[in-house]
Structure 1
Amino acid sequence: MPHYTALDGARIAYDDMGEGRPLLLLHGLMAHRGFFEAQRDLAGQFRLIGIDLRGHGESREAGEAPTVDRIAADVRGVVEALDLRDAIGIGWSLGASVLWRMLDGPASARFAGAVVVDMTPRVMNDGDWRLGLSAEACEARRRAIEEDFHSFATQAGEAIFAPREGAEFDARARWAGEEFARNDPAAISALWRSLMAQDFRPTLGRIDQPTLIAHGAHSHLYGSDTADFLGAAIPRSKIVQFDQSGHSPHIEQPELFNRALRDFAASLPRVRSNSMTA
C-alpha cells in the first residue's frame, strides 16, 4: 500500500491504478477511499488515485489533527509527489471542500476539471446564507460526535442514501455505518469544527476549471437550490441530477455516475504535454 509522508509525519494512504487522465477521488467525512469502489470500473480508461484523507481509513498514523486546510496540504503533497497533470478532481461532500481549497492555490494548475458531489460552499447557515445546515443542526452534530459517536456514525451511514426498502439497502447502510464508526471521534470532531468554519463562496467565482455538479435528488443534506447556487457561481459548470440518489450518487447510481464522468472527461481539452510545470 503506497503512502505519502507529510511534513508532520502523518502517513497518507492512497491507491494508484489504471492509465490515462488522472481521476483524484476525495471522499466525504467519516468515509474512506473504499467508498469509491464502484468507480474502479473506470480504471480501463483513467488513472485512479483514491486517497484516505487524514484521520480516515489507513491514514490515521501520527501527525496533527485533521482540518480542511491540513488535508488539502496532504492531498497537494500526493498530487505533486505523483506529478499528476491535467487531473480531474472528484470531491464528495468534505472532499469537495478540500478540492475547492486546492483549486484556489498553486495546485490548481494540475487540474483540468472538477466534479463536486452533493456539497455546499458553506456548511453552517448564517444571516445571509440558508443553503447549508442551521447553526442548531451543526451544534447538534458536534455534540453527537463528541458524546455518542458510535450512534451518530451508524445513523449517518444510513442517511447518506436515499431511503429504500429491501435487504440490499439494509446491507449497504449497515456497511457504511460500520465503516463510519471505525473513525476516532476526536479526529472527526476536530474536522467537523473546521468544516463548519469554512466559507468557499468567495472561491467559487475564481475556479477556472470546467466543473460538473452532481446532485442527489433525495439528499437529506443539500437541496437542488444548493446545486443551482453552485451552477450560477462557478463560471464553467454544469449540473447533473441523480433522481434515485441521496447524498451519494456515485454509490447509489454508479453506472449513471461513471457514464457522466466519462462524458465530462471527453468534453475537456486533451491532456497537455508533460513539459508543464507547477
Structure 2
Amino acid sequence: MRQFTASDGARIAFRDNGSGRPLVLLHGLMAHSGFFAAQDELSREFRLVSIDLRGHGRSDTAAPTVDQIAEDVEALLAFIGVDDAIGIGWSLGASVLWQMLAGPSASRFAGAVIVDMTPRVLNVEGWELGLSPELCEARRIAIRDDFAAFALAAGQAIFAQPVAEHLQDQADWAGAEFARNDAGAVGRLWESLVEKDFRASLGKIRQPTLVVHGAHSQLYGPGTADYLVSALRNAQAVQFDRSGHAPHIEQPELFNRTIRDFAASLPRVRQSETTV
C-alpha cells in the first residue's frame, strides 16, 4: 500500500490500481480497504482507489471523526488527481461520502453508491430510520468496556443471519479484523458518527446515486432506502435479496455487475488532469 500525509501529519494508507473511471471505495466502521477485495476484479475496467480510513487498517489512529476522514479523502483525491469518480460508501463510508458531496469536493464525483446506510444514525422524535438511543448507547459502552467481544460479534452481524456456510470463514475473518482496531479510536469515531445528521444535505446532492440495500440487514430496513430515494434528487434503489449489511461481500458478482451497469449509465463529467 502507498501512504499519504494528511494535513495534521497523520499517515493514510491507500491503494490505487487499474485505469479508467475512478471508483473511490470507502469502507465501514472497524473495516479497512481489504473488505473490498471482491471488487479487485473491477480494476480491469476502472481505476480503483481504496483507502484505509483514519483509525483503521494501516492508517494512523489520530483524532478520527467523520469530518476529519472526509478531509483526508478530499486531500488524497486532489493529490493523486481523481476526477469524474464514482464514490462507493459502505456504512461509515457513506457518511464520509455524503460529507464530501455536500462540499467543494462534490465536483470530483460523477455518481455515488450508498451501501446500507442511514443519513442519521441516532433516532430522535420524528425519525425512526436509524438506531434507538438505547442501542447507540449500548454500542458505545460495549466498545469501551469489551471491545474484543463487540468486534467479534459485529463481524458475524454484518452478514445475513444465519450466516451462510460458504460465508462463515469470511464472517470469522471480519470479526478478527474488526478486533484489531484501537478501541479508543473506534469509540471516538462512533460518537462522531452518531452526532451526524445528513438529512438536510441530501436534497443538495446532484450526483446520480445508487442506493444498495441488503434485504436481511440487521441495521437498516427497506424504509431507509426508500427515504434516500425520495430525499435525493436523482436516486434509485436496488435490493440484494441474500445479503445483510455487506452486499459487496455477500453477493460480490451481483454487486460488481451492478456497479458496471451504474457506471455505464453515467455521462463523463471531466477527465483528470493530474497524475502521480
Counterpart of 1:179 (choices 172, 177, 180) is 177
Do 1:228 and 1:239's aligned partners in 2 also have CA atoms closer than 8 Å? yes
Please list the CA deviations of residues 116-139 of structure 1 after superposition, one character each: whole Å capped at 9, or x if unmatched: 000000000001110000000000
Aligned twin of 1:26: 26
Aligned twin of 2:51: 51
Aligned twin of 2:225: 227
How many residue pairs align between the two structures? 274
Do 1:21 and 1:271's aligned partners in 2 also have CA atoms closer than 8 Å? no
Which residue type is aligned with residue 148 of structure 1? D
Do 1:55 and 1:66's aligned partners in 2 also have CA atoms closer than 8 Å? yes
Counterpart of 1:252 (choices 247, 250, 253) is 250
Report the Cα offset of residue 8 of structure 1.
1.1
Aligned twin of 1:157: 155
Unaligned runs of 5+ in 2: none
- C-alpha distance in 1, partners of 2:218/2:67? 26
- C-alpha distance in 1, partners of 2:36/2:273? 31
Go from structure 1 to structure 2 and tell me whether the alpha carbon gap of 1:195 and 1:166 turns closer, same or farther (over 3 Å shift): closer
Aligned twin of 1:272: 270
Report the Cα offset of residue 271 of structure 1.
4.9
3-state SS of paired residue (1:191): helix
Do 1:4 and 1:77's aligned partners in 2 also have CA atoms closer than 8 Å? no
Please list the CA deviations of residues 204-256 of structure 1 after superposition, one character each: whole Å capped at 9, or x if unmatched: 00001000000000000000000000000001001000000000000000000
- C-alpha distance in 1, partners of 2:181/2:271? 40
3-state SS of paired residue (2:22): strand
Please list the CA deviations of residues 146-201 of structure 1 after superposition, one character each: whole Å capped at 9, or x if unmatched: 00000000000000000245543321111000000000000000000000000000
Which residue type is aligned with residue 103 of structure 1? L
Is 1:102 the counterpart of 2:83? The answer is: no
- C-alpha distance in 2, partners of 1:126/1:31? 27
Which residue type is aligned with residue 257 of structure 1? F
Unaligned runs of 5+ in 1: none
Do 1:154 and 1:177's aligned partners in 2 also have CA atoms closer than 8 Å? yes
Is 1:37 the counterpart of 2:33? The answer is: no
CA RMSD of aligned residues (A): 1.2
Do 2:82 and 2:272's aligned partners in 1 also have CA atoms closer than 8 Å? no
- C-alpha distance in 2, partners of 1:108/1:99? 9
Report the Cα offset of residue 275 of structure 1.
6.0
3-state SS of paired residue (1:25): strand
- C-alpha distance in 2, partners of 1:110/1:43? 19
- C-alpha distance in 1, partners of 2:202/2:242? 27
- C-alpha distance in 2, partners of 1:137/1:273? 44
3-state SS of paired residue (2:23): strand
* Aligned 1:28-177 pairs, distance under 5 A: 28-60=28-60, 64-164=62-162, 167-177=165-175
3-state SS of paired residue (1:7): coil
Which residue type is aligned with residue 125 of structure 2? G
Go from structure 1 to structure 2 and tell me whether the alpha carbon gap of 1:151 and 1:274 turns closer, same or farther (over 3 Å shift): closer
- C-alpha distance in 1, partners of 2:146/2:272? 49
- C-alpha distance in 2, partners of 1:4/1:205? 32
Do 2:202 and 2:232's aligned partners in 1 also have CA atoms closer than 8 Å? yes
Aligned twin of 1:195: 193
- C-alpha distance in 1, partners of 2:35/2:118? 20
Which residue type is aligned with residue 143 of structure 2? I
